[in-house]
């Protein structure tokens, strides 16, 4: 007996594409003489469909796609994920279901029991939790079919207040009573660089606890800000990882059930560093955002600093250098090396660039505002005017040439509000808005691993916004190593101020940083969507009230 794992890149609401992907994979599995092919959670609709689930026509399209795919399941059984109607009188109108298709029919189904309502997840908004725990038999093999979170019942959040389990029931404990031979888990689990091992450990512990081999199929690709790493796994009854599909790539592979049941290593899992995975995630996020929205070209402001250099390199790799354009906009405060560094970078990676000096419009603004600002000192007002002039130029190019503006702000800046609303915070997609400044340096060095794409001067010079004479980021912010440690503990780990600690960290600095985080929530509320690579990104994953005193 053979089982095929289908790790694919779905597009939300693109039923024809998703159906084609699934049917093509079924044909491939048939050629491999597979008996069963497994797809990922909500593969029919794409994940996450959000409020499209409220549309009756959307659900009808899901039903039609399932019916068409089931016709391909002749001589093979398939497991697909789809929303299904709740026929009961009470509860939410939909289930998040795993459907077993065979010989043109739905022969078995299970409904997701544990519906996550934390971070970016809000599944209980749409779905009724499943309450029946049954197994099905295929070729004499008793299969326990679970959906993503249903195997995650023992997880706890990594912060000061939630060390306890977040679920009160264990679907797998219920299924284990039926003595299954194999656990199958279909998922749509987004990437987080700090959760790679945690996710793998959850599966290992489940297999080891029940003494049952486990197969999990995760989707890959990206939908808006969410990036899916794939990395579908096979784990033997001892909890050993015996096979893993690639990170961030589509893959359809067939395995022998005897190898799975006997625990034989059939594929050595690839070892990836966190910086390599973050790099691949961001490339995937950019590429799919453009491909799935029908966009082709982008533009960004190239300052000669680290962040814009990093985004330019990522965009060029994701989209191809011919689809990327850079605009250099020096001011009276720009150093000569900022311009030369930016030009060198653009030439290094063969990206088209233009230079517009912002002195004339800036001088015009100063002249027009002088009567109103008479007797007042220059301050952040004049700095912001420069940033907003640059945004006007960038958006003009975006409109005229039909290319989306990429935002280049990093997570450290976004967290403390070190950016100009309607200025350097403008853009249609925030590429590194979930990347701390210290990690941005690691990514830059990774990009330079084989050749000097990013000029070393960009990596070595002190960071500066260059909006006033001799300005440095360190004038306004703690050292980035200290800042990022505070931010990680406060944002990702949700530690209270008094629990935040580390080398070089003092109470006064902590209070200053947290004050900056809290008072700049309104800026992040208006920011573009951020490609998510952490366990707590800005946007839907971190919802804070704008009007609050805490």
In terms of domains, do 459 and 485 share one? no
* Distance (Å) of CA 130 to CA 84, 88, 149, 188, 240: 12, 12, 12, 18, 30
Residue 113 belongs to some domain of the structure: yes
In terms of domains, do 111 and 210 share one? yes
Q: Give 3-state DSSP helix, strand, coil % of the chain, rounded to 5.
A: 40, 20, 40
pLDDT in tens, 62-118: 999 999 999 999 999 999 999 999 998 789 999 999 999 999 999 999 999 999 888
Confidence (pLDDT) at 467: 74
Do the Cβ atoms of 497 and 517 come closer than 8 Å?
no
Going by their DSSP bridges, the two strands 233-235 and 214-218 should be labelled as antiparallel
Structure pTM? 0.94
Residue 257 belongs to some domain of the structure: yes
Query: Does the pLDDT of residue 464 top 70, yes or no?
Result: yes
In terms of domains, do 486 and 457 share one? no
Residue 272 belongs to some domain of the structure: no
Domain with 7, as residue range(s), is: 2-267
Residue 529 belongs to some domain of the structure: no
Confidence (pLDDT) at 166: 75
What DSSP state is assigned to residue 499?
G
Confidence (pLDDT) at 164: 57
pLDDT in tens, 299-348: 999 999 999 999 999 999 999 999 999 999 999 988 888 899 999 999 99
In terms of domains, do 21 and 40 share one? yes
CA dihedral over 422, 424, 429, 433, signed as positive or negative? negative
In terms of domains, do 457 and 488 share one? no
Final residue of a structural domain among 241, 267, 293: 267
pLDDT in tens, 242-265: 999 999 999 999 999 999 988 877
Residue 532 belongs to some domain of the structure: no
What DSSP state is assigned to residue 491?
I
Active site residues: 41, 112, 148
Final residue of a structural domain among 473, 488, 506: 473
For 157, counting Cβ atoms within 10 Å of its Cβ (0-12 exposed, 13-18 middle, 19+ buried), the class is middle
Q: How many CB atoms lie within 10 A of CB 130?
A: 21
The token pair at 276 is 């390599």
Final residue of a structural domain among 267, 297, 328: 267
Confidence (pLDDT) at 263: 82
DSSP codes, 194-208: TSHHHHHHHHHHHHH
pLDDT in tens, 127-181: 999 999 999 999 999 999 999 999 988 765 555 445 556 788 899 999 999 999 9
In terms of domains, do 168 and 298 share one? no
Confidence (pLDDT) at 156: 56
In terms of domains, do 333 and 292 share one? yes
User: What percent of the chain is predicted at pLDDT more than 90?
Assistant: 82
CA-CA distance, 224 to 305, in Å (whole number)? 27
Domain count, the chain: 3
In terms of domains, do 179 and 317 share one? no
CA-CA distance, 454 to 460, in Å (whole number)? 11
Q: Which of 25, 9, 90, 94 shows the shortest CA–CA distance to 60? A: 94
Residue 538 belongs to some domain of the structure: no
- Kindly report the CATH number assigned to the domain that includes residue 432: 3.40.50.620
- Kindly report the CATH number assigned to the domain that includes residue 148: 3.60.110.10
Confidence (pLDDT) at 264: 79
For 96, counting Cβ atoms within 10 Å of its Cβ (0-12 exposed, 13-18 middle, 19+ buried), the class is buried
CA-CA distance, 230 to 193, in Å (whole number)? 13
Confidence (pLDDT) at 365: 96
User: What percent of the chain is predicted at pLDDT more than 70?
Assistant: 97
pLDDT in tens, 376-385: 999 999 999 9
Do the Cβ atoms of 93 and 46 come closer than 8 Å?
no
In terms of domains, do 360 and 486 share one? no
* Distance (Å) of CA 331 to CA 366, 427, 483: 14, 21, 28
pLDDT in tens, 488-500: 999 999 899 999 9
User: Hey, is 355 helix, strand or coil?
Assistant: strand
pLDDT in tens, 194-233: 889 999 999 999 999 999 999 999 999 999 999 999 999 9
Which of the residue ranges 48-52, 136-140, 357-361, 458-462 would you say has the lowest mean pLDDT? 458-462
CA-CA distance, 394 to 416, in Å (whole number)? 24
Residue 537 belongs to some domain of the structure: no
Do the Cβ atoms of 365 and 389 come closer than 8 Å?
yes
In terms of domains, do 505 and 462 share one? no
In terms of domains, do 223 and 307 share one? no
Do the Cβ atoms of 416 and 477 come closer than 8 Å?
yes
Confidence (pLDDT) at 163: 54
The token pair at 127 is 């779905």
State the average pLDDT for the chain. Answer: 93
DSSP codes, 132-194: ----EEETTEEEEEEEGGGG-TT---SSSS--S-S-S--HHHHHHTT--SEEEEEE--B--TT
pLDDT in tens, 343-370: 999 999 999 999 999 999 999 999 999 9
In terms of domains, do 309 and 252 share one? no
Going by their DSSP bridges, the two strands 214-218 and 182-187 should be labelled as parallel
Do the Cβ atoms of 299 and 401 come closer than 8 Å?
yes
CA-CA distance, 513 to 530, in Å (whole number)? 21
The token pair at 197 is 């091992």
CA dihedral over 306, 311, 313, 314, signed as positive or negative? positive
Do the Cβ atoms of 250 and 297 come closer than 8 Å?
no
Query: Does the pLDDT of residue 534 top 60, yes or no?
Result: yes
Residue 301 belongs to some domain of the structure: yes
Say which residues have a Cβ less than 8 Å from residue 237's Cβ, sequence separation at least 6. Answer: 207, 208, 211, 212, 213, 263
């Amino acid at each position: 007996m053979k089982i095929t794992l289908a790790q694919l890149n779905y597009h939300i609401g693109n039923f024809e594409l998703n159906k084609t992907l699934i049917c093509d994979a079924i044909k491939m599995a048939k050629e491999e003489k597979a008996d069963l092919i497994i797809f990922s959670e909500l593969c029919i609709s794409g994940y996450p469909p959000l409020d499209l689930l409220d549309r009756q026509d959307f659900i009808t399209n899901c039903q039609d796609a399932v019916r068409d795919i089931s016709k391909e399941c002749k001589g093979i059984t398939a497991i697909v994920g789809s929303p299904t109607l709740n026929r009961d009188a009470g509860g939410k109108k939909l289930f998040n279901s795993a459907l077993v298709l065979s010989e043109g029919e739905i022969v078995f189904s299970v409904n997701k029991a544990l519906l996550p309502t934390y971070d970016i997840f809000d599944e209980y908004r749409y779905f009724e939790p499943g309450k029946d725990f049954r197994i099905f038999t295929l070729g004499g093999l008793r299969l326990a079919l679970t959906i993503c979170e249903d195997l995650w019942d023992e997880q706890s959040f990594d912060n000061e207040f939630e060390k306890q389990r977040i679920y009160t029931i264990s679907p797998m404990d219920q299924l284990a009573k039926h003595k299954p031979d194999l656990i199958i888990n279909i998922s749509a689990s987004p990437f987080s660089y700090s959760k790679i091992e945690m996710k793998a450990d959850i599966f290992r512990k489940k297999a080891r606890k029940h003494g049952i081999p486990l197969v999990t199929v995760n989707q890959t690709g990206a939908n808006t800000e969410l990036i899916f790493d794939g990395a579908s796994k096979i784990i033997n009854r001892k909890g050993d990882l015996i096979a893993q599909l690639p990170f961030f790539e589509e893959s359809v592979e067939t395995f022998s059930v005897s190898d799975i049941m006997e625990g034989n290593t059939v594929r050595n899992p690839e070892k990836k560093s966190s910086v390599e995975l973050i790099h691949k995630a961001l490339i995937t996020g950019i590429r799919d955002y453009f491909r799935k929205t029908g966009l082709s070209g982008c533009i960004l402001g190239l300052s000669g600093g680290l962040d814009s250099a990093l985004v330019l390199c990522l965009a060029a790799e994701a989209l191809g250098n011919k689809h990327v354009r850079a605009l250099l906009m020096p001011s009276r405060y720009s150093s000569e090396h900022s311009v030369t560094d930016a030009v060198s970078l653009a030439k290094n990676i063969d990206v088209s660039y233009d230079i517009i000096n912002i002195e004339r419009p800036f001088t015009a603004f100063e002249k027009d505002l002088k009567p109103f600002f008479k007797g007042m000192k220059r301050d952040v007002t004049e700095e912001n005017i420069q940033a907003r002039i640059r945004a006007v130029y960038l958006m003009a190019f975006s409109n005229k040439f039909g290319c989306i503006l990429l935002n280049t702000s990093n997570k450290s800046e976004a967290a403390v509000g070190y950016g100009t609303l309607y200025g350097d915070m403008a853009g249609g997609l925030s590429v590194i808005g979930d990347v701390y400044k210290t990690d941005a340096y690691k990514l830059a060095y990774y990009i330079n691993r084989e050749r000097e794409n990013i000029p070393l001067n960009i990596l070595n010079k002190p960071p500066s916004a260059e909006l006033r004479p001799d300005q440095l980021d360190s004038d306004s912010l703690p050292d980035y190593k200290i800042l990022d440690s505070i931010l990680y503990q406060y944002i990702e780990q949700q530690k209270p101020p008094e629990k935040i600690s580390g080398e070089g960290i003092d109470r006064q600095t902590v209070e200053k940083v947290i004050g900056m985080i809290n008072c700049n929530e309104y800026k992040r509320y208006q920011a573009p969507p951020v490609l998510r690579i952490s366990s707590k990104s800005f946007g839907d994953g971190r919802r804070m009230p704008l009007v609050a005193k805490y």
